[in-house]
């Protein structure tokens, strides 16, 4: 059936958008199709990242149908929906590639995002992640922040890690954000600034926690015959891996034993390359502790030394290991409580040579690792041009 390529992408991020959920979709789809050089009539596949961050509560039912109707898409040959948080973006793009390569569709739009501001307007008095065995959780907490705080605390205890190590991640990502005009936070910060910022859930401080925003991301995956219409160099998936542990933290023997190494190892093996063959890394960063675990999980740092890696290595575009060169979602914000679209968009921007001042020179391979839930899901893409 031939190869499939990513030939278009677009992202909109606003701190609090006056536009509706569907209007955000409309803009990103239009701009994505323009980049890909095809019309909406040529799209015959749709992938939707499930979200509850929408304007009207009933909108979440049969969301793919509603999106297709809004976009004016008639008959579709392929529909997919993923519901495992920020890790869903990588998974849907990979599945779309396989669908196209197997002749299930010619052109698939993958769409994800939403309006975090909806929750701020309604008010929230409970966690964002549904609980199993609710009766066992008679404690005051706010999810998922308190769970990731527990992971950070456990990590510090087991590996004698310092808060300064996590804080350095926030500092390095903020330094990268200076070159991203779309970042919400661009002013330089210091380790002291991070440590002196308000405590959100011990030991995580405010500057270690992502800010929810409104936004949308769209990606276009097409077959070989349509790939030549794109305004950018088509991007290929060189390798992919995913791994899942649906259990809640309290059911795990070791909360620091994550599924990240499984997905990353599979992706690198399929790509037939080593970690040092990667030109840039886009890692899921809703909390600084996630970066620590990912640095270890993908193989850049030994187990228990991810925080040391952050202290000892620059993350900038000109460094040996460019990491989250757009500032990550810690500085761009997190649409609909999912950072997967943010990091994937930046990887594609870099591989397309469109990143301006933050461009990683000669970038041809990128690793994108995304996490969903409370370390429940990990998906890893190795992309290449």
Provide the residue ranges of all domains of the chain, joining segments of one domain with +: 4-122+212-228, 236-384
- CA dist 325 → 109, 209, 330 (Å): 26, 18, 12
Cα separation, 64 vs 126, whole angstroms:
27
Write out pLDDT tens, residues 85-128. 999 999 999 999 999 999 999 999 999 999 988 876 665 544 45
pLDDT tens by residue, 24-39: 999 999 999 999 999 9
Inter-residue contact 342 to 11 (CB < 8 Å): yes
Tally Cβ neighbours within 10 Å of residue 200. 18
Mean pLDDT across the chain:
94
**Which listed CATH number (3.40.30.10, 3.40.47.10, 2.60.40.10, 3.40.50.300) goes with 236-384?**
3.40.47.10
Q: Does domain 4-122+212-228 have CATH number 3.90.870.10?
A: no
Identical fold at 4-122+212-228 and 236-384?
Answer: yes
- What's the CA gap between 108 and 64, in Å, rounded? 13
Residue 134 has pLDDT above 60, yes or no: no
pLDDT digits (tens, 9 = 90+) for 254-293: 999 999 999 999 999 999 999 999 999 999 999 999 999 9
Q: Residue 205 and residue 195: Cα distance in Å, rounded? A: 7
pLDDT of residue 143: 78
pLDDT at 237: 99
- 71 sits in which H/E element: helix 63-71
């Amino acid at each position: 059936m031939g190869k499939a390529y990513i030939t278009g992408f677009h992202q909109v991020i606003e701190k609090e958008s006056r536009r509706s959920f569907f209007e955000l979709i409309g803009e990103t789809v239009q701009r994505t199709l323009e980049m890909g050089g095809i019309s909406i009539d040529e799209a015959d596949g749709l992938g939707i990242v499930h979200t509850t961050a929408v304007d009207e509560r009933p909108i979440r039912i049969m969301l793919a149908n509603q999106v297709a109707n809004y976009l004016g898409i008639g008959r579709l040959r392929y529909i997919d929906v993923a519901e495992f948080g920020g890790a869903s973006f990588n998974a849907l793009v990979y599945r779309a590639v396989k669908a196209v390569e197997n002749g299930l569709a010619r052109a698939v739009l993958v769409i994800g995002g939403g309006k975090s501001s909806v929750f701020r307007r309604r008010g929230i008095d409970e966690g964002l992640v549904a609980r199993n065995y609710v009766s066992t959780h008679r404690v005051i907490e706010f999810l998922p922040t308190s769970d990731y705080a527990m992971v950070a605390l456990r990590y510090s205890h087991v590996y004698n890690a310092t808060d300064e190590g996590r804080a350095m991640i926030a500092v390095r990502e903020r330094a990268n954000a200076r070159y991203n005009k779309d970042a919400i936070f661009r002013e330089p910060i210091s380790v002291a600034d991070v440590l002196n910022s308000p405590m959100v859930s011990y030991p995580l401080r405010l500057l270690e926690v992502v800010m929810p925003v409104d936004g949308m991301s769209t990606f276009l995956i097409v077959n070989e015959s349509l790939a030549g219409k794109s305004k950018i160099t088509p991007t290929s998936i060189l390798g992919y891996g995913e791994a899942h542990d649906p259990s809640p933290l309290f059911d795990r023997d070791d909360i620091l034993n994550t599924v990240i190494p499984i997905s990353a190892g599979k992706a690198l093996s399929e790509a037939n390359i080593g970690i040092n063959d990667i030109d840039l890394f886009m890692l899921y960063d809703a909390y600084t502790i996630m970066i620590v675990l990912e640095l270890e999980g993908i193989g850049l740092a030994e187990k228990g030394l991810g925080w040391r890696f952050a202290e000892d290595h620059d993350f900038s575009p000109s460094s040996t290991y460019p990491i989250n060169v757009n500032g990550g979602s810690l500085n761009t914000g997190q649409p609909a409580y999912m950072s997967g679209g943010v990091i994937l968009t930046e990887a594609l921007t870099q591989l397309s040579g469109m990143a301006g001042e933050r461009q990683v020179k000669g970038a041809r391979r990128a690793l994108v690792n995304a996490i969903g839930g409370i370390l429940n899901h990990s998906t890893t893409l190795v992309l290449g041009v």
